[in-house]
A and B are shown apart, each in its own frame.
Chain A
Amino acid sequence: MPFSQETLDEIALSRDEYEAIVDRLGREPAPLELGLFGALWSEHCGYKHTKALLRTLPSSSERLLVAPGAENAGVVDLGDGLSVCFKIESHNHPSAVEPFEGAATGVGGIIRDIFAMGARPIALLNSLRFGQPDDARTRYLLNGVIGGISSYGNCIGIPDVGGEIFFSDSYKGNPLVNAMCVGLIEDGKIASASAKEHGDLLMLVGADTGRDGIHGASGLASRAFEEQAEMRSAVQVGNPFLEKVLIEACLEALDLPGVVGLQDCGAAGITSAAIEMAERSGMGLKLMIDEVPRREEGMTPYEVMLSESQERMLLAVTPGQEKTVFELFEKWDLDATIIGNFEFGENVRIYEQGVQITSTPVITLTDAPEYKFTGVKPEWLTKLQNADLAANPIPPGSPADILLKILASPNISSRFPVYRQYDYHVQTNTVIEPGGDAAVLRLKGSKRGIALSTDCNGRICYLDPEIGTAIAVAEACRNLSVTGATPVALTDGLNFGNPETPDVQFQLTESITGMRRAAEAFKIPIVSGNASLYNQSQGADIFPTPIIGSLGLFEDVEKNSTVGFKSKGDVIVLLGTDSTWDDIDGLAGSEYLDFIHGKVEGQPKLDIDLEIRTQAACREAITQELIASAHDVSDGGIAVAIAESAVIGEIGASINSDPGARWDAAMFGETQSRIIVSVNTKNLAALEAITTVNDVPLKVIGSVGGNTLTFGDSISLPLADVVDAWMNGFNRATSD
């Protein structure tokens, strides 16, 4: 073999994979070709360990205009000539090395994926994971990531309307930064990512190509790493203003008759974008490497092909029509250069100075090996699931003390200090702002609206990957339902550890099974997705974290509901159960159990039929305008949900029964499928009629009013104390 093991390691190709390349080519690859394989056969581009599993997910639905491909986002029809595409994508490894630019370019990357479909980006969400925030490095990563998201999203003028931040030791050293983007397409004008005819020109537009990000896909994202400092040059640097101009220019260019295809340059830069375009077109490709505009001198063809310089797009242009395209990009002060053309044949042929230097079959490059495995449940997991939850003692301190502590904790406290750094008003579509259960946007020119959320509890997925992922789907849908929106589609961002190990293989297999089961039960498709593997630090895999991004639809966006209690005298009603307080089983995987007892154990549960019925009843009641407020019960249990509705509503609440002896499980248990609503007393009967029809248990548990938070005889807290704990907890936990 003419290449050293070190060379293979640098681009994260295994010996076996190298042999497969030689076998398929019928020869050794040239160094440049090896770089192309390293990029396209990387986990990020090639989905080697996840392709087979992802194929089992439901991806069809009546509403789907375009089925999801391996990379592109599926398009969902909303009616009124409007359709939406959305996708979530990770940028974990770059963010661990250089958090500001890693997060910023993560946002930039997902935005490009969306406008490459011909969709105008209308919303961003971000789902983040970090180690415990009392750690200096974690604070550095946290502040960097928030700063990067803020600076990129605000400058590019797309509202950042939702997301989540979760802290756990599991993510120390390997933060997760998953960015979701939603785009709007009018009149079904979906862009194609292929050429139309042989001879079509390949045009590169946008930023110059530099040395940033080389080995971003193959190096950073393909293995666990310890040497962070060395990898810094593999993190890309973003320019949001340039991307804003690029959005406008590209969307305008799609109206030109000569522009037949559009593709974004993301992971593995020109290599993946151009070669995937060729594959989709079923054509060969001639690439003239010298034509690529560079921002640095002396770049080799290898560097040009693998550069992950940001803010670049590829267009397929009909020959003879390029002048109109050049003029359009010149108007927008953007570079546009012809760098090749599609042709007959099956190879991608790279030319330097008029001489062909490599010729490689397109399909061999894009058809990365698929690794199949079955999972085996580890012994240690069975033990954890069977733990005796009741053996955890009631903590010292009063229920009120523990409630305030939990409200102020890093995972429960209000994220207001974070999201007020994001512009969530720009584009003037925001109906429900961050801080609720889901973001809601109106669609101009229509009565319709959409709701958006991201959800995943990694701890619960760790305890049971199958049920935990089904719970992630359920919660992502529940957050939509409590605003009044009907869930219509999902995207998934898988974040797992080393897929070459049996434990992670078990997690992956089970997780996809759970996702499939839940999506089929809800009858909604998964229209796009992303996989980030090899997330580890200090030798340990992270919690399996399959983040679900959900999209819901309003027929009439005015019929929505918000989280805060509204009026004195309103009745507080619990849907989804006939018991006010939770029981000991609810402690499984709960925030309370981890935060107060330092334990992650127990068996998570989900009754998916009950979940679906409960959500349907809630939505029906909202549409009939019976609901004053609605909030889903999740992290921190019912005590936290009630407290949040009181704080946000700026009004007290009184729960008419006592949590009892085992008050910790009662208040903080996280049993699924529960929703807290408040209603004007005159609407209670109508609400009960709806829950009866839907076979959903209901319990009246208290009333709204006053300026205290009261739970039976156990808790009577001034609302001001509750506000202080919840609103200021985050800043107190993350700074000195």
Chain B
Amino acid sequence: MNGVLGQVAEYIWHGDEALGQYDAIIIPGGFSYGDFLRSGAIARFSPVMEAVQQFADKGGPVLGICNGFQVLCESGLLPGALMRNNHLEFRCIWTELKVENNSTMFTSKATTGATLHIPMSHGEGNYQADNATIDRLEENGQVVLRYADSAGNVTPDTNPNGSINNIAAIVNERGNVMGMMPHPEKACEKIIGGDDGNVIFSSMIESFAASIA
């Protein structure tokens, strides 16, 4: 955020209880607590998470990436769970993500139906939820990104981890909390493979610039 998009971004310590004044919160990827017990299961109890919860309840934008998505599911800010990849391996590959919904504050600058070339690296990215939850997510347009091919076809062959309906990213009902398994921040510069990931962050920036105006 600092280097590429010229925004002011700061790290917040996991042990802090207060958030301070921010327009948006990003819970990044990683291996919080070494993935002990389950990915994100312990991190969701970090003191700072209560403040994140309150921030989200007030409508503040929260983006969870990879382990961040797992933390959001563990803490109930998003429905469903991320289980072990169906082939049981950690997988690091580039994916094509089909944009299903561009009216969220995370995808407002994307084009519905277009694909974003963004990498993933995870062992537990298999999005699962009960049928009722999945139906609700689909009907409400809460599925934001799906694993596809570069032509936008969504098929079992383009599913890299077994996620139901090739789901790669979802928002909550209110639309202010999004979780995505692939890493947009790893696709922000052409030199490292592509800059399609910028669209997620610039959509967010546009949203809170608009909300100030």
- A contact set with B: CB distance below 8 Å: 150-151, 154-157, 239-242, 244, 419-426, 428-431, 433, 442, 444, 557-558
Contact = CB atoms under 8 A, between A and B. Distances in A.
B30 interface: yes
Given A442-B191, A442-B192, A557-B191, A423 B90 contact: yes
Considering the complex of A and B, which 4 residue pairs feature the smallest CB-CB distances, nearest first?
A241-B34, A423-B121, A155-B31, A425-B186
A431 B33 contact: no
A154 B35 CA distance: 11
Contacts of A239: 34
Given A150-B90, A423-B121, 9 more contacts: A154-B121, A240-B31, A241-B33, A241-B36, A425-B192, A428-B188, A431-B191, A433-B193, A442-B191
Contacts of B36: 241
B30 A157 contact: yes
Contacts of A241: 31, 33-36
Interface in B86-106: 89-93
A420 B35 contact: no
A331 to B, nearest CB: 8
B147 to A, nearest CB: 15
B3 A444 contact: yes
B183 interface: yes
Given A150-B90, A425-B183, A426-B121, A431 B34 contact: no
Contacts of A424: 92
Interface string B37-79: 0000000000000000000000000000000000000000000
Contact of B91 (A157, A242, A421): A421
Contacts of A557: 191
A608 to B, nearest CB: 34
Contacts of B93: 420
Contacts of A558: 191
B30 A423 contact: no
A444 B33 CA distance: 28
Given A154-B121, A421-B91, A428 B185 contact: yes
Most buried by B among A155, A240, A422, A425: A425
B16 to A, nearest CB: 12
Nearest to A160: B92
Contacts of B189: 428
Contacts, number: 63
A548 to B, nearest CB: 26
Contacts of A431: 191-193
A398 to B, nearest CB: 32
Contacts of B30: 157
14 contacts: A151-B90, A154-B31, A157-B31, A239-B34, A240-B31, A241-B31, A241-B33, A241-B34, A421-B89, A421-B91, A421-B92, A424-B92, A430-B193, A442-B192
Nearest to A146: B89
Nearest to B121: A423
Given A428-B192, A431-B192, A423 B92 contact: yes
B119 interface: yes
Nearest to A434: B92
B192 A429 contact: yes
B90 A421 contact: yes
A248 to B, nearest CB: 11
Contacts of A240: 31, 34
Given A442-B191, A442-B192, A444-B3, A425 B119 contact: yes
A156 B189 CA distance: 24
Contacts of A430: 192-193
Nearest to B188: A428
Contact of B90 (A154, A244, A442): A154
B171 to A, nearest CB: 24
Nearest to A430: B192
Interface in B15-41: 30-31, 33-36
Residue from A155, A156, A429, A442 with most neighbouring chain B CB atoms (10 Å): A155
B173 to A, nearest CB: 32
Contacts of A419: 92
A719 B13 CA distance: 52
A419 B188 CA distance: 23
A150 B191 CA distance: 25
Interface in B147-185: 183, 185
B121 A155 contact: no
A107 to B, nearest CB: 14
A453 B192 CA distance: 18
A269 B135 CA distance: 56
B169 to A, nearest CB: 18
Contacts of A428: 185-186, 188-189, 192
Interface in B183-206: 183, 185-186, 188-189, 191-193
Contacts of B3: 444
Contacts of B33: 241
Nearest to B29: A426
A149 to B, nearest CB: 11
Contacts of A433: 193
A431 B190 CA distance: 9
A150 B90 CA distance: 8
B92 A425 contact: yes
Contacts of B186: 425-426, 428
A155 B189 CA distance: 24
B34 to A, nearest CB: 3
B184 to A, nearest CB: 11
A735 B38 CA distance: 29
A242 B142 CA distance: 37
A3 to B, nearest CB: 42
Contacts of A426: 121, 186
Contacts of B91: 420-421
